Structures are given as C-alpha cells and as structure tokens.
Amino acid sequence: MPVAQRIPDPPPDRAAERARVQAAMDELDEELRDIKREIIESRGLVIKTNNLTNALAADLKSIGKRQRNFERRTFWNSAAANLLFVVVVIGMVKFAWDARVESVSGETRNAKAEVARLTGEVEAMQKEAEARNRAESAAAAFYELMRSGSDKELIEAFDKLRQEKLTRAEMAIFQDAVTKARSELSSSAYHEGLEHVRSGRWHEAVIAFEEALRFNPSATHAPSAQLNLARGYRRLNRQRDAIPMLVKLSEASADSEVLDDAMFLLAECLIDIQAWNDAKTTLRTFVRRYPKSPYVNDAKMALADLSLKH
C-alpha cells in the first residue's frame, strides 16, 4: 500500500482527530490485509478445490469406466456361465434320456427275444406234436401191414416210416420185423436164383441173386449169392461187373468154401477180357494158396497155356 503522507501536526484539537483517522486507516489497512490474505487463501482453496474436483471427476470417470468394464465382464461371464449351465443341463438331460431310451430299447429287445423264444418253443412243440401224431398214424398203418401185407410192401413202407419220429421201442419192433422180412425175401430170391442156374436161365438168375443181396447183403448165403452172381455176369459177358466183386470175395469172405472158387473165377474173367498179366498173377496165387482145390489142375493148365501164348 502507498505510504501515507505525513501531515503536519494539526493543532492540538485536530491531533486527536488525526490519531483517530490514522488508527482507522491502520485498522482499515489491517482489514484490507486480512481481506487480501483471505482472498489469497480463498483463491488457493478454490484452486485446491478445483484440483480436487478435477481429480475427483477423473477418479469418478475412471471408476465409472472400470465399473462399466466390470459390469460388461460380469454380464458376459454371467451369460457364459448361464450358457455353460444350460449346455450342461441339456447334456445331462440328453444323457439321461439316451440312457432311458437305451434301457427301454434293451427291455423291448429282451421282451421281443423272449416272445420269439416262446413262440419258437410253441411252434416246435406244435410241430413235435404233429410229427408224433403222424408217426402214430404211420406206425398203426405199418402194424396193420405187418399183420396182413407182403414182405416187399413191408420193406417199402418201412423206408418211408423211418422218416417219422418213432419211439425207440417202436423202431426196434419194426426193425426186427423188417429184418425178418428181408431175410425171408433174400433167402427166397437166393433159392430162386439157384433154380434159374440149374435150368440155365442166367438172366433171371442174375436178377434173383441181385435181389437176394439187395434184401440182405450180410446173410449167411450172401457169399454164395455173390459167387453165383459173378458167374451169371460172366455168362452174360459182363466180366467187368464181376471182377470187382470177385476181387473182394477172393480176398476176404465169411464163407471160406467160396474163396478158391472166387479166385479161379476171377482168373477166368481176367482171361476173358485179355488182362493176361493180371490173369497170370491170379493163377499163380491160386496155385500157391489152394493146392488142394479141385480147380488146381485147371489153373495150372490155364497158367501154362498163358505162359506159352503170352
């Protein structure tokens, strides 16, 4: 502030006035200085307040931005969590549904399989019952045939009856009856063949011996029937049919009495078809194996004749 000019001392009555004025001015200066100081302080406070306000605004802005980012992240996290939860729930529901469907499907398949099994068993039982009924009817008809029919009809009927489902007892009874019929027919055909041989009817003899062997190939007269059948084949110029039979018969036969006859007849058949080497071998074996046979001289003569000619 400008320095007050010194005023000349007034008269004594004005000195007090000036003192008062001076005091008032001093007081006014003091007040002005206080006001100025307050103004400066107020300005400083305003500046600080403004700075604080700006800082607060910046902080609020930053906090708001962070809040918005947080809310955005929270929203997306919540959305992702909800989506994941929904997906998990849907997956669990689908898994449970699939398991339930599979369980129901398995039960359905098992039920269908059980129904199919039971149906099959019922059908099998029905078929078995039908087969048994057919077998009983066929057995009854066959039994009537046993009582009144011929042996040939019985054998033919048995071939069809064997396809039916008979009991073991029924099959055994019928088998015995058929075996007996076969034996009788075989024996009858064998003796018939012998009658044809004695009368020289070789064609009929061959048919009879074939029938005898067909009815009962293991009969006691079977070796003799085979030998006579081979003789009939030779008479009918069917040596190649006789040779395989004679080979087996000469090597092993249930009747030892036909062995030498079969081997000598085999040699004759081999000579007939001009199998010279085989015939020689067979004749040599015959002479060596059956030296007491009634055919041994014939065999030696045939062997000598073959040795000279071939």
Q: How confident is the model over 238-248, as pLDDT tens digits?
A: 889 999 998 88
Start-to-end Cα distance in the chain:
180
Over residues 32-60, mean pLDDT: 84
Checking if the pLDDT of 229 tops 80, the result is yes
181-224 pLDDT per residue, tens:
778 888 888 898 899 889 889 899 999 998 888 888 888 888 88
Residue 160, pLDDT > 80, answer no
What are the extents of the domains in the chain? 17-138, 149-218, 220-310
pLDDT of residue 3: 43
Q: Which superfamily does CATH assign the domain made up of 220-310 to? A: Tetratricopeptide repeat domain (1.25.40.10)
Is the pLDDT at 5 greater than 60? The verdict is no
User: What HEC string does the chain produce?
Assistant: CCCCCCCCCCCHHHHHHHHHHHHHHHHHHHHHHHHHHHHHHHHHHHHHHHHHHHHHHHHHHHHHHHHHHHHHHHHHHHHHHHHHHHHHHHHHHHHHHHHHHHHHHHHHHHHHHHHHHHHHHHHHHHHHHHHHHHHHHHHHHHHHHHHHCCHHHHHHHHHHHCCCCCCHHHHHHHHHHHHHHHHHHHHHHHHHHHHHHHCCCHHHHHHHHHHHHHHCCCCCCHHHHHHHHHHHHHHCCCHHHHHHHHHHHHHCCCCHHHHHHHHHHHHHHHHHCCCHHHHHHHHHHHHHHCCCCCCHHHHHHHHHHHHHHC
* pLDDT tens digits along 50-72: 888 888 888 888 888 888 888 88
**pTM for the complete prediction?**
0.53
Express as a percent the part of the chain with pLDDT over 90.
Answer: 6
Q: Residue 126: which pLDDT band, with cuts at 50, 70 and 90? A: confident
Specify which of 39-43, 174-178, 260-264 reaches the highest per-range mean pLDDT: 260-264
Lowest-confidence region among 130-134, 141-145, 206-210: 141-145
Mean of the per-residue pLDDT values of the chain:
81
What's the pLDDT at 133?
Answer: 75
Is the predicted pLDDT of residue 292 greater than 70, yes or no? yes
